[in-house]
Structure 1
Amino acid sequence: MELAIKLKNIQQSFGAKEVLNIPELAIYQNDHIGIIGDNGTGKSTLLRLLKGNLAPDAGEVQRKIDFRYYPQQAPLPKNLADLDGELSSRLALPNHLEGLSGGEQSKFRLAEILSTYELGLLLDEPTTHLDEAGVELLVEELRYYYGTLVFVSHDRRLLNQLATKIWEVAEGGVTVYSGNYDAYREQKESHTLALAKAGEQYQKEKQRLETAIEKKKVQAIKANQLSAKKRKKNIRPDRLSSSKQKDTVQKSLQKTAKALASRLDQLEAPDAQSRQRKIHFPSSQMLTLHNKYPLSGTNFTLQKGNKLLLERCDFQFGLGEKIALVGDNGVGKTSFLQALIAGDERLTRSPKVVFSVYQQLAYRLKGKEALLTYLMKETDYPEKLVRSILHNLGFSQIEINKPLDVLSGGEATRLQLAQVFVRPANILVLDEPTNFIDLSTIEALEELIRAYPGTVLFTSHDRAFVEQVATKIYELKDQQLLEVL
């Protein structure tokens, strides 16, 4: 196998925070590597180091081939004539660059990067804003890519279909796993089970040593008391017991206790793995819905400006269902959710319906109020449940006391997701909740949605996410709302 890139003794910091510390890491030609990790762990920084857009603080990057690079944000192509015509056609690109949606902008940038072949390709979150058709086309385009592919993604379909190795970035280091994302999950699960078993063995050995130490200490005290009694009675020891009379037994017991204590000090606890807590949402009589279909529509038509989005549609959304709304970019999924929330004469809505809505933050949270205190003001749930929701979304016990105004973008997004679940409501509305969150948060969100007792309406282009949580799937297509599951 020929080397494509080698990293050696890499150190990279931003301010006082060390982001990456990599003793050695290699990429070989024709590797297809998927990079995963929580937000803020250094995935994009690693790609920039590989490309050469960022020089490391220390260490060396040896490049044997050239790479094309797709960053998360970049200008649109200047000359549409430079794009591959066949690829542009398959991506259904318009012949102009004005008024483009986020998905169309992503497609133009991908068309530009894929129109010129290079031996290496670096992609940073290439599926962001892409609809399902766009993701499918990207997968097909890259499946047969003959070259070295390294991509950052939280899209499990992309990771499963393209990656032959997974790099997990965490705590400044990179751990390499063979296979795709499912293979990585199996290896992680085996590691977690091994750690759990090691943890049980550690606790048993610790308890055994502590019990033995205590026993030897008690024996030493008793031996000392017995020796003191003999001295008090002026009992003359015979030759056979004279050595014991000199506290040999006591010293031996104390020595044994010290040896056991030393072994206890050297006993290493296995690294603890943070596990998700089982969430049980309490029921509320005030919010309980009895209507079998709390949301329904008859001959429902939706128009935005001059564009007809839905025409004379009938639907019934069932109590407790987890309903996914899917469709290409621009078909009206967000507009439909907004119409449901706002209400309409052609809609039938149970009078007890209370919505809790997730939308991407358009502002930065302000104030010194602690994160947990902020959430507790918005909920009737007990603090224990709120803490469990925050824990499952990746907040440690220390982080839940962070002031709002120091939260990172990823932390603010996770807080907003928690906020949706703790508000008093019986229908949740989540518009593209998987955008801009990492894989561990996506999987935690799946667990929360499954555990939530009320109805959930959501949009997402993440097929794996939809398959994991949806009990019903509706597709918006050709001005119709079609139940496909």
Structure 2
Amino acid sequence: MAVIELVNIKQETDGKPLFEIEYLQIKKHARIGLVGNNGAGKSTLLALIAGQTALSQGEIKRFGFVQLLPQLKTTATTESGGEVTQRYINDALAKKTDVLLADEPSTNLDRQHIEKLTIQLKRWQGALVLVAHDRALLDALCDEIWEIDQQKINVYAGNYSNYRKRKEQKAAEQEASYQHYVEKKKQLERAQMLKQQKAERATKKPKQLSRSEAKITGAKPYFAKKQKKLHQTKKALETRLAQLEKVDKPYQTRAIKMDIPDAKSIHQRPIIRVTDLAGQIENKMLWQPASFQIKGGDHVAIIGANGVGKTTLIHMIIDQVPGVENSPAIKIGYFHQKLNTLDLNASILTNVSKGAIQSETLIRTLLARLHFFEDDVNKSVGVLSGGERVKVVLAQLMVSDINTLILDEPTNFLDLEAVEALETLLADFPGTLLFVSHDQWFIERLATKLIVIEKQTLKLFPGTYRQFNGPDHQHDQQATDLMVIETRLSEVLSRLSLNPSDKLEQEFQALLKQKQQRLNK
């Protein structure tokens, strides 16, 4: 039974077409994920269904109560962003409504609260239409995906993972169709050229005729007829070539190989050492003294609930507070949400090229990977959306004179396609990566190690996010403890070589004993 019907919709924005819908329906217990690029019209569609935006053309039939959980929430309060979001969610779920339209409900929520949100929405009895950049959330909740693409809405059965597989399958089919088209076009062009050459040779009587040709009465008319026939065949080939249905070449990502300063010389060497570093803001203890080290080429995710001190740790590392020692060889590029490095009056290409050490060809390739194609790079940054400006800043950092990227929630404001493009770029980044994120898929794909802050403790976990959440976590915890001891051993050994003392020697022997005990467990 349908609770919403959308009939012959044509929606415009600023006089330009946004999307068209011939017919779509939302059933009573539907679980729909709505996806599309920034600016495709996802929030507009939700507002139309809720009756909060004027319809350009068409009809929306509602057979129940509809509630919209907006993306932009009132923040004139002392509550944190996560607290505001959770309050909106609780208020929405407390009301009796038939259709809940949730626009980015996981914004500002940490992983713990996203898991709570997932449980709440699974228990929800009405229909749900969900816009989210959290792919794990879409996977857990949705059994149908609506994709806004090129002003049309495509419907895919299944969750987000199934949608991505289908998209990949369509891309493979498009590639196969294109290759078939290219080969067929080449065959017709070769045949056309051969007939043209034969027709040209038949324009005059040969000097030497075969006996059979010499017996033909009126040899000249014979060759004229032969030429005419060849021209007719050539014209038929031209017609077939003109009627050959054109298949567009699929966009193919080009490999990006960046030369990172000192990347090889510092690879797998300690470049950030943290020793007995405590996290504290005013009178609030974030974490007890902790020690760890990050090596060149590591991709490290900092995870933990909101307010545990993830951003504080980043600032401590960048500022090299007491207890933090950064190698002189590292060059840090830091991404944060202020986006104050952009010149709004300059073009995308000009902004990214400023301070770049990579070639313009590589810069253009990287921008294309972030879906700034061809003339797009000449757009003024001032006309870009918030998500597009985030992409420009990230590109700016990646081509600059750095070998260590530190990113604080880089996927905020990015659409799913942009997030996946950024993942691909960062996975190939040959330098060191340290990032904060609540996006489970993003962490799983990129992180080779984790810094986990919870219950006022900070520990380095020497494995992936999947391993951290897996059944062998106890074994992995032993590996973490062992790594901490090895880090301390390395530090004490360095100090011993410079300033030998009985105290340092005793500490060194004690650490060796602890290491042996861990290995014997």
TM-score, L = length of structure 1: 0.89
- Deviation per CA, 1:51-91: give whole Å up to 9, x if none: 11112211111222222210102337xxxxxxxxxxxxxxx
- Deviation per CA, 1:228-265: give whole Å up to 9, x if none: x89xxxx99955868635x3322222222222112212
What is the CA distance between 1:5 and its match in structure 2? 1.6
Report 1:83-102 matches (<5 A).
Answer: 98-102=77-81
Conservation of the 8 A alpha-carbon contact between 2:101 and 2:129: yes
Q: Secondary structure at the match of 2:195?
A: helix
Report 1:32-431 matches (<5 A).
Answer: 32-75=31-74, 98-226=77-205, 238=216, 244=222, 247-285=224-262, 288-289=265-266, 292-362=269-339, 365-366=342-343, 368-431=345-408
Q: Secondary structure at the match of 1:219?
A: helix
Letter in 2 for 1:7: L
What is the CA distance between 1:27 and its match in structure 2? 1.9
Structure-2 separation of matches of 1:400 and 1:101: 36
- Are the structure 2 counterparts of residues 267 and 368 from structure 1 closer, same or farther at C-alpha, using a change threshold of 3 Å? farther
Task: For structure 1, list consecutive stretches of 5 or more residues without a partner in the other structure.
Answer: 77-96
Conservation of the 8 A alpha-carbon contact between 1:291 and 1:350: no
Task: For structure 2, list consecutive stretches of 5 or more residues without a partner in the other structure.
Answer: 464-521
Counterpart residue number, 1:442: 419
- Are the structure 2 counterparts of residues 367 and 450 from structure 1 closer, same or farther at C-alpha, using a change threshold of 3 Å? closer
Structure-1 separation of matches of 2:458 and 2:50: 44
Structure-2 separation of matches of 1:11 and 1:459: 40
Structure-1 separation of matches of 2:372 and 2:358: 18
- Deviation per CA, 1:431-482: give whole Å up to 9, x if none: 0011110111111111122111111110001111111110011211122212
Counterpart residue number, 1:456: 433
Letter in 2 for 1:294: I
- Deviation per CA, 1:386-410: give whole Å up to 9, x if none: 1221111111011112223332322
Structure-1 separation of matches of 2:448 and 2:379: 36
- Are the structure 2 counterparts of residues 387 and 191 from structure 1 closer, same or farther at C-alpha, using a change threshold of 3 Å? same
Counterpart residue number, 2:22: 23
RMSD: 2.3
What is the CA distance between 1:273 and its match in structure 2? 2.8
Conservation of the 8 A alpha-carbon contact between 1:287 and 1:352: no
Structure-2 separation of matches of 1:384 and 1:435: 28
Structure-2 separation of matches of 1:399 and 1:478: 47
What is the CA distance between 1:308 and its match in structure 2? 2.2
What is the CA distance between 1:181 and its match in structure 2? 0.8
Q: Secondary structure at the match of 2:71?
A: coil
- Are the structure 2 counterparts of residues 72 and 453 from structure 1 closer, same or farther at C-alpha, using a change threshold of 3 Å? same
Pairs aligned (count)? 458
Letter in 2 for 1:4: V
Q: Larger RCO: Structure 1 or Structure 2 (Cα < 8 Å, ≥ 6 residues apart)?
A: 1
- Are the structure 2 counterparts of residues 339 and 324 from structure 1 closer, same or farther at C-alpha, using a change threshold of 3 Å? same
What is the CA distance between 1:368 and its match in structure 2? 4.2
Structure-2 separation of matches of 1:52 and 1:315: 54
Structure-2 separation of matches of 1:75 and 1:341: 33
What is the CA distance between 1:164 and its match in structure 2? 0.4
Counterpart residue number, 1:80: none
Conservation of the 8 A alpha-carbon contact between 2:34 and 2:42: yes
Q: Secondary structure at the match of 2:58?
A: strand
- Deviation per CA, 1:317-354: give whole Å up to 9, x if none: 12211101111111111111011101112112111221
- Are the structure 2 counterparts of residues 249 and 291 from structure 1 closer, same or farther at C-alpha, using a change threshold of 3 Å? closer
Q: Secondary structure at the match of 1:168?
A: strand
TM-score, L = length of structure 2: 0.83
Identity between Structure 1 and Structure 2 (%): 36
Q: Secondary structure at the match of 2:6?
A: strand
Structure-2 separation of matches of 1:68 and 1:371: 38
Structure-1 separation of matches of 2:133 and 2:140: 13
What is the CA distance between 1:285 and its match in structure 2? 4.1
